[in-house]
Amino acid sequence: MEQIAGGALAGLKVIDLSRVLGGPFCAQILGDHGADVIKVEPPQGDETRGWGPPFQDGTASYYLGINRNKRGIVVDLTQPAGRELLLQLLADADVLVENFKTGTLEKWGLGYQETLSKRFPRLVHCRISGFGADGPLGGLPGYDAVIQAMAGIMSVNGENGGEPLRVGLPVVDMVTGLNAVIGILLALQERQRSGQGQFVEAALYDSGVSLLHPHLANYFLSEKTPLRSGNAHPNIAPYDTYATKTTPIYLAVGNDGQFAKLCEQLGQPGLATDSRFATNGARCDHRSELKAALEGLLAEHECKPVAERLIRGGVPCGPVLGVDEVVAHPHTIHRQMLVKIGDYQGAGAPVKLQRTPASYRAAPPGFGAQTIEVLSELGIQPGELDVLLKDGVIKAA
């Protein structure tokens, strides 16, 4: 089927006032799918520009990873003239993404209920916050690691008997960004019927709690506080890392049929009928014996060859790979999960649309790189731009 140029969100205008991770990640996804995203930074810049090393031309990799397909401008919203520029930007915008502390926009006279919804009734205003606007923790700032701690994620992550551990990537921030995209798209879909925009909130705390499956479901039924289980799944076995002759393999055996195939592939079909291992419940009750038996068989095999043979034989599994190996993996390349724009490299879009695929049009913007271009499109004349620059309301590269 012929692909349509422009992307699924072509024609959508997004004003991205957000910084750090959740909001910028959300806006990058919208940009990947064709939206015109204008990233508005404060005079001090998005702080992730300095979250390195490593750096490229003075900008940290952290910033580069989540800000492509955007045009970058610098506006000081603490000044009345800066806020007037924002209102001009919003005049024909579809979406506003921001993660200001609750009450900041309201203090500036730019609150959604009081101002923006009345002046721009079709605007979808998405706020990403730590804990939401209300409730016992409402309005307080939140960072990914703090929410991992407070939402119970760290409590179930770590070795059995060990200390709670932070998941080694900003999973809460990233899932909040994804939830923000979902919320924005839901609001845009509803706008097709009503003609009205609405306020969308994606809170890190809510996203963190939503990630607790199956631990929360287990707790509701058992009333037992979940314990850390290392790499093992709390409900399924064998579902864990297992030592081989070389590096670890992860077996993710979800049913009895797959377990029978595993035992057959490893030359011990009788294990599948052993009363200790014949059902998932029995295997969970005899985890240590099961692990010892499987590692005894796997000790004869190198990880990557046996993983390849097992997965092709119907056993879900894989070698534990490093980031360098993932980047070099032929399937990563085949799935177009590596993006290169000049000197920029990044991760590709994981959602594949047949007719309107994601596109990678622009590397992350330099600080204030498109300030003059974007404001000129609003009809602001060169003389006015000179005054705004002189007064420090805007900055340009």
Question: What are the CA-CA distances from residue 377 to residues 43, 46, 238, 370, 382 (Å)?
Answer: 21, 24, 60, 11, 11
- Whether the per-residue pLDDT at 356 is higher than 80: the answer is yes
Mean pLDDT of 332-354: 96
End-to-end CA distance of the chain: 42
Q: What is the largest CA-CA distance in the chain?
A: 84
- Please give the full DSSP string across 68-104, using - where no structure is assigned: -SEEEEEE-TTSHHHHHHHHHHHTT-SEEEE-PPTTH
- Give the tens place of pLDDT for each residue, 54-89: 999 999 999 999 999 999 999 999 999 999 999 999
Mean pLDDT of 95-104: 95
Q: Catalytic residue at 173?
A: yes
Residue 1 is predicted with a pLDDT of 54
Cβ-contact 156, 195 below 8 angstroms: no
- pTM to 2 decimals? 0.94
Residue with tokens 């492509």: 68
Question: What are the CA-CA distances from residue 351 to residues 8, 298, 336 (Å)?
Answer: 12, 35, 11
- The class of domain 13-211+334-395 in CATH terms is alpha beta
- Whether the per-residue pLDDT at 120 is higher than 70: the answer is yes
- Whether the per-residue pLDDT at 312 is higher than 90: the answer is yes
Residue spans per domain, the chain: 13-211+334-395, 249-319
Mean pLDDT of the chain: 96
> Which residues contact residue 280 at a Cβ distance below 8 angstroms, ignoring those fewer than 6 apart?
236, 237, 255, 256
Mean pLDDT of 383-396: 97
Residue 68 is predicted with a pLDDT of 97
Residue 4 is predicted with a pLDDT of 67
- Give the tens place of pLDDT for each residue, 357-376: 999 999 999 999 999 999 99
The DSSP letter of residue 246 is S
Question: What are the CA-CA distances from residue 183 to residues 125, 346, 358, 389 (Å)?
Answer: 10, 25, 19, 36
Residue 330 is predicted with a pLDDT of 97
Question: What are the CA-CA distances from residue 188 to residues 45, 183, 193 (Å)?
Answer: 29, 9, 9
Give CA–CA dist 327/313, Å, rounded: 25
Mean pLDDT of 226-249: 96
Same fold flag, 13-211+334-395 and 249-319:
no
User: Choosing from 134, 173, 274, 324, which is the catalytic residue?
Assistant: 173
- Whether the per-residue pLDDT at 256 is higher than 60: the answer is yes
Confidence at 377, pLDDT banded by 50, 70, 90: very high
Beta strand 70-75 pairing with 394-395 = antiparallel
Nearest-CA neighbor of 85 among 23, 17, 184? 17
- Give the tens place of pLDDT for each residue, 30-39: 999 999 999 9
Question: For residue 312, what are its two tokens?
Answer: 């092709």
Percent of the chain scoring above 70 in pLDDT: 99
Mean pLDDT of 158-185: 97
**DSSP-assigned beta bridge partners for residue 124:** 95
Which helix (H) or strand (E) segment holds residue 218: the answer is helix 215-222
Nearest-CA neighbor of 85 among 395, 397, 325, 339? 395
Name the CATH topology of 249-319.
formyl-coa transferase, domain 3 (3.30.1540)
Confidence at 2, pLDDT banded by 50, 70, 90: low
- Whether the per-residue pLDDT at 5 is higher than 80: the answer is no
Beta strand 344-347 pairing with 124-129 = unpaired
Judged by DSSP in three states, 336 sits in coil
Confidence at 6, pLDDT banded by 50, 70, 90: confident
Confidence at 93, pLDDT banded by 50, 70, 90: very high
- Whether the per-residue pLDDT at 302 is higher than 90: the answer is yes
- Whether the per-residue pLDDT at 101 is higher than 70: the answer is yes
Question: What are the CA-CA distances from residue 71 to residues 19, 169, 393 (Å)?
Answer: 14, 27, 18
Mean pLDDT of 101-113: 94
- Whether omega before 43 lies within 30 degrees of 0, making that bond cis, reads no
Q: Cβ–Cβ contacts within 10 Å for residue 300, how many?
A: 11
